A and B are shown apart, each in its own frame.
Chain A
Amino acid sequence: MRLRLEKRAAPSAAMRWAAPLMATLLMLVTGMLILVLLGKAPGDAFRVFFIKPLASVYGIGELLLKTTPLLLCGLGLAIGFRSNVWNIGAEGQLTIGGICGAGVALAFGDTESSWLLPAMLIAGVIGGMLWAAIPALLRTRFNTSEILVSLMLVYIAQLLLGYLVHGPWRDPDGYNFPQSRLFNDWELLPLLWDGVRTNIAFLIALLLAALSWLFTAKTYAGYRMQVAGLAPAAAAYAGFSERRNIWLALLISGATAGLAGIAEVAGPIGQLQPQVSPGYGFAAIIVAFVGRLHPLGILLGSLLMSLLYLGGEQAQIELALPSAITGLFQGLLLFFLLAADLLVNFRITGSAR
C-alpha cells in the first residue's frame, strides 16, 4: 500500500476554500508545538497569542488598525498575482507612499487647511504608483523581471527614507533623533471612535475591497487580467495586451501600497521615522495567497495576519519571546497553504502494490 497523487479531472472548488482553513489550523498546531518545546504552557501561550489581544475594545481597535495596511497592500497585490504579475515590492511602494505624503505635510502643513490631508493621501498614492511604475516600465520595455526589480526598489526606498530622516527632513528640535517633526492634528487621519487608534483609512480599505471585487468579477479589464494569469497564450490569442495588464497590475498595487504607507505615517506613527512598516508589504503577499486572491478572503487573511502581529507583541511582553515569532508563524502559514493547495488539483489515493 502506498500513497499516490492522482490529478483531479477539474480543480476542486471546495478544496480551494478549505485549504486556507486547513493551513491556519496546521499553523496553530505547529505554533503551539513550538511554544511548548520552548517550555511555555500551551494554554497560556494560546491565550496570550490569540485571546488577550482581542479582550478589549482597544485591542479590537489595534487589530483593525494593523489590518488596514495589510488589507490595502493585499488587495493591490492580489490583482497583480491574478494576472501573473509578481510585484513583491509593496514594502518599497508603501515606504515611498509614506515619504511622498509626509513631504506634502512637511512642505505645506504649518498652517491648518482642509485640503491638506486629502493632498497627503493623493501624494502617497501617486508616490506608490510612481515607484511601481519603474518595474512596470522595465518589464514592458526591457523584459526585466518585475520580481527582482520591485524587490531591489524596496532596499532603495528604505535607504532613501533613512537619508531623509537623518538629513534634510530631520526635526531641528528633535534632539538629533532621526525623525521628522510630529504631524499637526490637521495632518493626521481622523480616528473612527474615541479610545482606539483605528482611523478612517480602515473604512477606505473596506471600500476598496468592495471596488476590487467589482473590478475582478464584473469588468472586462478584470477578466482580461485573469485570463493573462491563467493562460498567457490564450490572452495573446484573444488579443489582450500584455503590456496594458502589467501596467494596470503594477499601478493598482503601487497605489494601494502607497496609500497604506501614508495612512501609517499620517495615522499611528504621526511622523516620518526610519522605519514606517514592520514588513506589512511582505506580509501582504501571504495575505493575498491565504485570501485566495479574493477580496473577502483577503479581508479575513489580513485580520488573521494582524492578529499574528498583535500576538507576537503580546508574547514578547508576557512570555519573553522574541517578536520575530510573528514572522515565523507567517512563513509557516504560507507553507501549509501551499502544501494544502495540492488537494485542489490532486487527490491522494492509496493503491495496493
Chain B
Amino acid sequence: MSLDTWIAIFVSTVVAATPLIYAALGELVTEKAGVLNLGVEGMMLVGAVVGFIVGVNSGSLVLGYLAAMLAGVLMSLVFGVLTITLQANQVATGLALTLFGAGLSAFVGRSYAGQPIDGADALHIPLLSDLPVVGALLFQFNALVYGSIALFFAVQWFLSRSHAGLRLRAIGEAPSVSHAIGHPVQKTRYRAVMFGGACSGIAGAYLSTALTPMWVEGMSSGRGWIALALVVFATWKPLRVLLGAYLFGGVTVLQLYAQGFGLTVPSEFLSMLPYAATIVVLVIICRDPKTILLNQPASLGKGFHPDA
C-alpha cells in the first residue's frame, strides 16, 4: 500500500479515537472520585443531538460545542442529584441515564435526522500543516482533536500533581475518611460528575459534527460503553486511556481499509471488531483480580451519605 494510504489510516485512527478520549477521560475523573456513571452513552447521545441542533441553527460550531457540554453537564446533574444527594444506586441510575438519553435525543433530533451540517474543518497551521508527510500526519486535524490531547495533559496534571486532584483521589479511596478530616465529599463528587458530563457532551458533539457530520438516532452505537471499558482497561491511568483510545480507534477504522488489505470478510463481522475487542481487552486486564483491586478507586460505585 502506498504511503498515502498509511497516512490516511493513521489520520482516521486518530479521528475515530478522539470521542473515546473525551468520554473516557471524563469518566476517569468521575470514577477517581468514586462515582461510577454508566450513563456515558446517554450523555454522548444528548451531546451529539444538542451540538448538532445548535450548530445548524446558529451556524457556529463553537456554540454547538458549548451547548453540547452544557447538555452533558445537565444530564450528569440529573445523575448527580439522584446518586449523590438522593442516594440512588449508581448502576441503576447510570442505566436509566443511558436509556433516557437515547429516548430524549431521538425525540428532539427527529426533525434533524439526515440534515447536513458544515462539519468541523481541519485547522490550517501555517508552515506546519504544509510540511511533507508530517504535516498530513500531525497538523491537519480539526481543533477538537488537539483539544483531546490538551485535555489529556490537563487531566494527567490535575490528578497527579495538583492538590485538588489529590483530594479528589482521596475521596475516591475513602469518602468517610475524607469527610472525617473535613473535605466536602458531596461537592467534589458533584464536580467530578459534571466534568464527566461535559466531556461526554463534547464527545457526542464530535460524533455529529466532525466524525460523521449529521445526526442519526443512536449514532454513538456503544462508544459510551467502550469508553467505560477503556477506563478499566487503562487501570484508571490517563496515559493508558489515551493509548487505549488510539488502539480502539485503529480497530474501528480497520473495517474501512479491510478491502485494501485484501480481506473479504462480510462487513458485519468487521463492524463487530470494536465490541469483540472490548471484551477481549477486559478479559486480559481483569483476569487477575489484584490488578483491579490495586487500581480501582476503593469506593467506586458506593454511595456516601455524611449522616448515615
Residues of B within 8 A of A345 (CB): 87
Interfacial residues of chain A within 306-328, with CB under 8 A of chain B in the complex: 322, 324-328
Q: How far is the CA of A262 from the CA of B99 in the complex (A)?
A: 24
Is chain B's interface secondary structure helix, strand, loop, or mixed overall?
Answer: helix
Asked if A149 contacts B92 (CB within 8 A), the reply is: no
Asked if A143 contacts B286 (CB within 8 A), the reply is: yes
Q: A334-B96, A335-B78, A338-B96 are in contact. Are A322 and B106 (CB under 8 A)?
A: yes
Asked if B225 contacts A327 (CB within 8 A), the reply is: no
Q: Distance in Å from the Cβ of B85 to the closest Cβ of chain A?
A: 8
A152 at the binding interface (Cβ < 8 Å) = yes
Q: How far is the CA of A145 from the CA of B38 in the complex (A)?
A: 12
Q: Please classify how large the interface on chain B is, using the bins under 10, 10 to 19, 20 to 34, 35 or more.
A: 35 or more
Asked if A148 contacts B278 (CB within 8 A), the reply is: yes
Q: Please classify how large the interface on chain A is, using the bins under 10, 10 to 19, 20 to 34, 35 or more.
A: 35 or more
Chain A residue with the shortest CB-CB distance to B277: A152
Q: Which of A142, A162, A166 contacts B283 (CB 8 A)?
A: A142
Q: How many A-B residue pairs have CB under 8 A?
A: 141
Asked if A145 contacts B286 (CB within 8 A), the reply is: yes
Chain B residue with the shortest CB-CB distance to A161: B268
A12 at the binding interface (Cβ < 8 Å) = no
Q: How far is the CA of A332 from the CA of B101 in the complex (A)?
A: 10
- Mark contacts of B269-308 with chain A using CB atoms, 8 A cut-off: 1 yes-contact digit, 0 otherwise: 1011001101100110011110010000000000001011
Q: Which of A138, A162, A324, A335 contacts B279 (CB 8 A)?
A: A138
A88 at the binding interface (Cβ < 8 Å) = yes
A131 at the binding interface (Cβ < 8 Å) = no
Asked if B102 contacts A166 (CB within 8 A), the reply is: no
Interfacial residues of chain B within 62-78, with CB under 8 A of chain A in the complex: 78
Asked if A159 contacts B272 (CB within 8 A), the reply is: yes
Asked if A148 contacts B225 (CB within 8 A), the reply is: yes
B174 at the binding interface (Cβ < 8 Å) = no
B247 at the binding interface (Cβ < 8 Å) = no
A156 at the binding interface (Cβ < 8 Å) = yes
Residues of A within 8 A of B87 (CB): 5, 342, 345-346
Q: How far is the CA of A95 from the CA of B289 in the complex (A)?
A: 32
A174 at the binding interface (Cβ < 8 Å) = no
Q: How far is the CA of A88 from the CA of B272 in the complex (A)?
A: 18
Asked if B287 contacts A142 (CB within 8 A), the reply is: yes
Q: How far is the CA of A167 from the CA of B268 in the complex (A)?
A: 10
Q: Distance in Å from the Cβ of B174 to the closest Cβ of chain A?
A: 18
Q: How far is the CA of A327 from the CA of B86 in the complex (A)?
A: 23
Asked if A335 contacts B106 (CB within 8 A), the reply is: no
Q: Which of A6, A152, A330 contacts B99 (CB 8 A)?
A: A330
- Mark contacts of A64-91 with chain B using CB atoms, 8 A cut-off: 1 yes-contact digit, 0 otherwise: 0000000000000000000000101000
Residues of B within 8 A of A327 (CB): 99-100, 102-104, 106-107
The segment out of A180-188, A233-241, A281-289 that lies at the interface is A281-289
Q: Distance in Å from the Cβ of B60 to the closest Cβ of chain A?
A: 26
Residues of A within 8 A of B143 (CB): none
Q: Distance in Å from the Cβ of A12 to the closest Cβ of chain B?
A: 14
- Mark contacts of A1-32 with chain B using CB atoms, 8 A cut-off: 1 yes-contact digit, 0 otherwise: 00001110000000000000000000000000
Q: How far is the CA of A149 from the CA of B283 in the complex (A)?
A: 9
Residues of B within 8 A of A334 (CB): 92, 95-96, 99-100
Residues of B within 8 A of A141 (CB): 287
Q: A7-B307, A148-B225 are in contact. Are A324 and B276 (CB under 8 A)?
A: no
Q: Which of A7, A156, A163, A342 contacts B308 (CB 8 A)?
A: A7
- Mark contacts of B235-279 with chain A using CB atoms, 8 A cut-off: 1 yes-contact digit, 0 otherwise: 000000000000000000000000000000010110110011011
Residues of A within 8 A of B232 (CB): 145, 148
Asked if B100 contacts A332 (CB within 8 A), the reply is: yes
Q: A327-B102, A338-B89 are in contact. Are A142 and B286 (CB under 8 A)?
A: yes
Q: Which of B91, B95, B268, B282 contacts A160 (CB 8 A)?
A: B268
Residues of B within 8 A of A325 (CB): 103, 107
Max count, chain A CB within 10 A of own CB: residue among B92, B93, B217, B225: B92
Residues of A within 8 A of B287 (CB): 141-144
Max count, chain A CB within 10 A of own CB: residue among B107, B225, B308: B107
Asked if A328 contacts B104 (CB within 8 A), the reply is: yes
Asked if B95 contacts A285 (CB within 8 A), the reply is: yes
Chain A residue with the shortest CB-CB distance to B308: A7
A57 at the binding interface (Cβ < 8 Å) = no
Q: How far is the CA of A159 from the CA of B269 in the complex (A)?
A: 7
Can you list 26 A-B pairs, Cβ within 8 angstroms, ordered by A?
Answer: A5-B305, A138-B283, A142-B283, A142-B287, A143-B288, A145-B232, A147-B91, A148-B228, A152-B278, A153-B279, A155-B222, A159-B272, A286-B99, A324-B217, A327-B99, A327-B104, A330-B99, A331-B96, A335-B82, A335-B100, A338-B82, A338-B88, A338-B89, A338-B96, A339-B88, A346-B87
Binding site for B on A (CB under 8 A): 5-7, 86, 88, 134, 138, 141-145, 147-149, 151-153, 155-156, 159-160, 162-163, 166-167, 282-283, 285-286, 289, 322, 324-332, 334-335, 338-339, 341-342, 345-346
Beyond the given pairs A5-B87, A162-B268, 13 more chain A to chain B contacts, judged by CB atoms under 8 angstroms and listed by A's residue number, are: A138-B279, A143-B289, A148-B278, A155-B222, A156-B275, A160-B272, A285-B95, A325-B107, A326-B103, A328-B103, A328-B107, A330-B100, A342-B87
